[in-house]
Chains A and B, each alone.
Chain A
Amino acid sequence: MPKRIVSCTINGTPTEFLCEPRWTLLEALRDGLDMTGTKEGCSNGNCGACTVLLNGESVVSCLVLAVECEGAELRTIEGVAEGSHLDEVQNAFLECAALQCGVCTPGFIVQAESLLDEIPEPTEDEIRFHLAGNLCRCTGYDKIVRAVQAAAEKRQTADA
């Protein structure tokens, strides 16, 4: 199948990549661009492991076609840390032990980024509602919710 060129910005870097029209954004990231931090759990939009930010909105990249991303601004797990400096959400996941196997973690972190961008001081209910599209089978979610609470608090203190 002939490939198309897609031009977009990924984690702040202008990027061009080749893809078949049938490729999902998830395939383009993982197989085309070797950005394997975004994980595949179900490929039908049910688990949230492949969550990325597309023009600032969180999407499951398995339900977006790569060719739809022409001109888009993408942010993936690889772009959450500033260089080697982890951000508050990543640090909170480490300090709160909010991961076990870790395969859902990139999706949760990206989803939490989108939540905190939208609601800087979320309640527990808002956190749970916003993260409900991301499945974790290991933790029972307790420590993930606490990590997002801790990250929100840290961010508020830093901004104050």
Chain B
Amino acid sequence: MTVWKTSMRNFLAHKGRMALSAVAVLLSVAFVCGTLCFTDTMNTTFDKLFAASSADVTVSPKAAGGPDDAPENGRPESLSASVVERVEKADGVKEAEGGVMSMSVTVVDSHDKNMGSETGAPTIAGNWTRNDLRSMEIASGHAPRGPTEVMVDADTAEKHHLKIGDELRTVAVTGDIRARISGIAAFTVTNPGAAVVFLDTATAQQKLLGRPGAFTHVNVTAQPGVDDTQLKKNVASALGDAGAYKLQTQKEAAAANKDSMGSFLDVMKYAMLGFAGIAFLVGIFLIVNTFSMLVAQRTREIGLMRAIGSSRKQVNRSVLVEAVLLGIVGSVLGVGAGIGLAVGLMKLMGSMGMELSTEDLTVAWTTPVLGLALGVVVTVLAAYIPARRAGKVSPMAALRDAGTPADGKSGRIRAGIGLVLTVSGAAALWATTQADKAGEGSLFLGLGVVLTLIGFIVIGPLLAGVVVRALGVVVLRFFGPVGRLAERNALRNPRRTGATAAALMIGLALVACLSVVGSSMVASATEELDKSVGTDFIVQSGTGQLVVPQAAEAIKKVPGIEYVTDYKSVGAKITSPDGKTEDEGLVAADPTYQEDLRRTTVAGDLGDAYGKNAMSVGDDYALRHGIEVGDEITVAFKAGGTAKLKVAAITSDETNVDKGAMYTNITTAEQYVPADRMPENMIMFAKAEDGKEKAAYAALKSALAPYPQYKVQNQADFKQDLKDQVGQLLNIVYGLLALAIIVAVLGVVNTLALSVVERTREIGLMRAIGLSRRQLRRMIRLESVVIALFGALLGLGLGMGWGTSAQKLLALEGLGVLEIPWPTILTVFVASAFVGLFAALVPAFRAGRMNVLNAIATDG
């Protein structure tokens, strides 16, 4: 009980000194809880949406893919109207209603502006059915009553200031549908961002499906008392032919929709939890430092407790109890902050166009429990080593005039272990660069990263001596005696300096590693594009929408264009001569595609692959199945028709573009695939006539102005786009790493603040003999900058090592060019110095405000 009381009092007495540790725990726990809460809320939102939008039983064609599979010809699979009649006659059916829905559409306003979401949510066009009333209501106007009327969802209307009477153009694969807004329908559940338009049924059938009278699905409503599973059975037996239809109860439909969404949410969740984990790791250093310093400052006190009879265990436990208290306080606040963070994230998503309602805010009971458990366990683990050290304090310490205990020289054992770890880590990284199989290479890489990281953490205190002295020579000597004092202070306790810098090192190492990989990715891709791309212009949508024929026509009419290449992705099952079938798909293109994208061939001539009934394969596939030029391959097109095509060329797979693609001529595919099922273009390429590039580029852009879903890019745009995409991705990752870096900066603040408290008498002495406030503050700032630069140096060095090894490994996957982004690395290094200055703000201010007399009088 006394132990508990002492710990409690110590905790309360030193709450100021623990504040930053609590903040570190808080931030990490908040990030975990925020992530869980946010993803749970997203799940709830989608669950509600999908549950509300699915009928009791939905009947759709068997051939229709999941929610993610866009039809390759832009026309969803459909059912004939007679199916609706047959379903209606089944037992227990109250009502059966044919629905039409397509996601292969783009909706633009009268200024050719895309009404679709920018966050990746789909644009959906369909007919207005009674089933829609379960999730929507007509807010104003009325449902469309003819081919010239359209209804739009209220969120989209609001976002784009649409009102009744405005014209909307729905771009479908069969042509453009021009209609005026007749009504606006509002979601009664949260719609996270999809743009939805409703057409009248006949128009929807004709334009979206190209098949008058057909439906994409049948919504079946049960009579009261008939459950969904029973209804499904009844409908199935009424329809007979089980192979032709897919039947889903409401639950199954919602689950199927959810699956495609859920995997995305899971990826997001685990990625964010990973970053929270890094923040926790960094926080551990902060907590270790705090407790080490508290124990050191309390040495005499602990010695006294031991002298009057406390056992080692009791001393040890009293420190751990303080850690538990700290963990609890930090985690409880963290859980609260996490829920706040989730709400903040929802608002942020809202501002980016993904509407989430706080009514759906979901806090599972596991969230606070997990947050609390993580926070407490991590804190106690971190405090374990300092607690053990406290237990080892001898009772003699009470008698000694300990002053500021100096850190024992970091032992030789430590140096040995650290060196062994670092060297074996470096060896693993070297092995990574030598690996010729990606699998074993990534194993080495993982091993190397972990070993070098731990190795650096272990020998950090030793490196501190070397690096800080070097920095002293380069930077600090310009600051005279104040610089020298700062250097000595940073070196006085290498273990503390090492741990503080290591925290910063972790975050910066990841930044450096990713920036190396990212810029190598861009450099490699750019080099390859320079080498292989011959086309002038590339037309494609950013979201995977097919190029509709009317847009393709517009492109082909542009003046100054020498030729245009159609590029289609054709689904097919491919059977090689060894009898094995792969669900691969082919690229069907115009022969000019050879010029647009130059490929190296291993055997044969790629030109011949565009000949009659011929194709090419990649060398990986050829190797796998022992295929040689002249072999015959069976291609069963998904859209119908089976062809036997002769392999005329084998292309090299050492590439990033079209890796493994099999090529055939469009005319070959057309021989087998029915005309109305022939896939639309996925991408189009255009080559300008000599000297007319500029004019053709402008003309292409203006020709495609009515179709804002497509991007027209010349080679420079394309490369820039690639760079931007990698840059964006890196920025997101840097943003998430910012959490770990913030915790590390708190660690620097913490170390300095506690050091200032510890050195009160020293500071008093220096002030008494004439150190000005300004000099004192500068001394503390310089110490901080040195620690930060030390951490940055280790982190950037480590990260560049990791990044280089990763690039060498990825070279097997076509990431052939190593590019170290020196501007980024230098910026991070310089920014670290500023981080150091920033971290020293408060500690320096407080040191400057210390009363000289009190400082002298303070008991050591």
Specify whether A and B are partners: no
Chain B residues proximal to chain A, CB less than 8 Å? none
The chain A residues found within 8 Å of chain B, CB to CB, are none
